[in-house]
Amino acid sequence: MPACTTNPHALAGMIARLNAPDYDRWAAQIRATGGCRQPIHLRGKVEHYDRATGRLLHRYTTRYEPDGVLRLPCKTRRASCCPACAEIYRADTYHLIRAGLIGVTGVPESVTAHPTLSITLTASSFGTVHMRREKNGNVLPCHARRDAETCPHGRIMSCTEPCASTPTPSTNRQPRRPMSSPRLSADSGEPPGSHRVSKGVSKISTLS
């Protein structure tokens, strides 16, 4: 029987978490993620105002959550990254395809007489994209090219600056600016859409 080894740092962390006063709320967040291995950490606040009167209807902030964040499932499709979320996606895909083949949930059973095709549709390429590369701990230039071509927009297809972000599609070799939208800021992953109320307006800002 293999010997059981315990990381002292992990053991101390578990003991501290179990004895924390906000353990129940932390455990509720973990259960809500469905066992996600790499939950998204949202940090910020949400304020709902009545559009007509301007009266504050509801306010929520992650400041009083465990560790100051709200944990949500990552919802990845890759089982190597998160088996729990990947299994949910696999099951949803199964039922979606099954409904189209045998007819359930609003799909008529007459579809069983229709021909069935399994096809793969590939989207068009975004073209050259910015990328981040590292070597021996140093960030390398994005795309340093000696004989760089010029794109239809008149920009040289070369980038000698080290990119600090993840690859983003760009045909003119210029990094995209983040779009402004009402949402909570996320430490990783994709955040959910903004919260709204009927006959109201939602105002969301991040914490300083």
Q: Is 145 inside a domain boundary?
A: yes
Q: Is 192 inside a domain boundary?
A: no
Domain limits for position 158: 129-169
pLDDT for position 174: 44
Give the chain's domain count.
1
pLDDT for position 4: 62
User: 10-residue block means of pLDDT along the chain (208 residues)?
Assistant: 69 88 91 91 93 92 92 91 91 83 78 81 71 81 77 79 55 40 44 38 38
Q: Is 11 inside a domain boundary?
A: no
Q: Is 89 inside a domain boundary?
A: no
- For 154: left if phi > 0, alpha if psi spans -120 to 50, otherwise beta; the answer is left
pLDDT for position 123: 73
Q: Is 5 inside a domain boundary?
A: no
pLDDT for position 2: 54
Sign of the dihedral through C-alpha 193, 195, 201, 202: negative
pLDDT for position 111: 79
Q: Is 108 inside a domain boundary?
A: no
Q: Is 19 inside a domain boundary?
A: no
pTM value?
Answer: 0.47
Q: What length does the chain have?
A: 208
* Gap between the Cα atoms of 60 and 46, Å rounded: 5
